[in-house]
Structure 1
């Protein structure tokens, strides 16, 4: 069974962001990852460490539409180019797949994600995709969280965690580390 791992940058109050902000992040605090915190390479080392485990990428529609055209041509993301990609969307047309960015499959439901998890292969990493992360968590399809928690409180923006009244999920700390700039790395396995 394949693992689905969520990886992201999150504020202390649970708001997600990509470095520098970007499409879909039009709240007034967008871009806080690079604007407000001293850059320390060791605090971001988790992103490089994840590459050894990544065998596929998964996105929601909006994150795919934002990342695919940029990451396809980015030297920083060249290692992702030929990895299989999965886009979970009931609305993305088949002809909207970005050419030249490796094999991409559209999954139309969380049932499709559950079937993918049962297939052979390694870990599938979910980048960005706040809405997808919440849906996968509620469907009990996430196996692990890789979070870099930033010392900011935003009060607005896309939240990582659902506010729905769902059953409790227990997490087990796999690894943690704190850095002089206030960022904390937290890696949690989902126990149930």
Structure 2
């Protein structure tokens, strides 16, 4: 059985929207894209370069990644290009990035089947709407969250309204030279409902 690992870059106030580039995601008038880049350094290894994994992406993140990573020459690009990319989409008819496969049926059922299959763990990067769906369905096995020393006050958040309240267990933490905290959490059950 594979684990689903959510790898997310967040501001201190929980925003995950457009960490990498000003044009990455301008939905809802978001103008703070690229907020993570001044803090990226060699200490910010959210994923070990020797780790084998496949990618689970939604259409928008896939399009952004497919336009960039096949043309890079570094350990992350090598891992991304080698990985099978499972893409949740109803609109993309053609997936040109090597080793890409489409998921277009019932997303939860398809991802449950994928999770139960043999293969490396599944990493989900970005893909905020898909991530909300998987969190609500209790399908995330691990959260690797890089918290950047930035407050934006607006933007899409990792844990949006409507996500079931839950406990998390901190299993690892470290900080980078630029002040980014890299925390790894495992789900630890839902919060009990109030009685009365």
Q: Do they superpose with TM above 0.5?
A: yes
- Does residue 33 in structure 1 map to residue 33 in structure 2? no
Where 2:63 maps in the other structure, the secondary structure is helix
2:24–2:33 Cα contact (<8 Å) kept:
no
In the superposition, the TM-score normalised over structure 1's length comes to 0.86
Q: What is the Cα deviation at residue 28 of structure 1?
A: 1.8
Listed as ranges, the gaps of 5+ residues in structure 1 are: none
Matches within 5 A, 1:98-137: 98-99=96-97, 101-108=98-105, 109-137=107-135
Q: 1:28 to 1:102 in 2, by over 3 A?
A: same
Aligned to 1:60: 58
Aligned to 1:183: 180
The superposition leaves residues 22-49 of structure 1 with CA deviations (integer Å, 9 ceiling, x where unpaired) of 43246121111114x3x4321x1223x1
Aligned to 1:83: 83
Q: What is the Cα deviation at residue 107 of structure 1?
A: 4.1
Q: 1:103 to 1:60 in 2, by over 3 A?
A: closer
Where 1:81 maps in the other structure, the secondary structure is helix
1:55–1:83 Cα contact (<8 Å) kept:
yes
Q: What is the Cα deviation at residue 139 of structure 1?
A: 0.8
RMSD value, Cα: 1.9
Report the count of equivalent residues. 183
Q: What is the Cα deviation at residue 191 of structure 1?
A: 2.4
- Does residue 173 in structure 1 map to residue 170 in structure 2? yes
Q: How far apart are the structure 2 equivalents of 1:179 and 1:79?
A: 22
Q: 1:96 to 1:130 in 2, by over 3 A?
A: same
Q: How far apart are the structure 2 equivalents of 1:167 and 1:45?
A: 29
**Structure 1 segments (4+ residues) deviating >6 Å:** none
In the superposition, the TM-score normalised over structure 2's length comes to 0.84
Write 1 or 2 for the structure with the bigger share of helix.
1
Q: How far apart are the structure 2 equivalents of 1:129 and 1:61?
A: 8
2:22–2:31 Cα contact (<8 Å) kept:
no
1:25–1:157 Cα contact (<8 Å) kept:
no
Q: How far apart are the structure 2 equivalents of 1:147 and 1:75?
A: 25
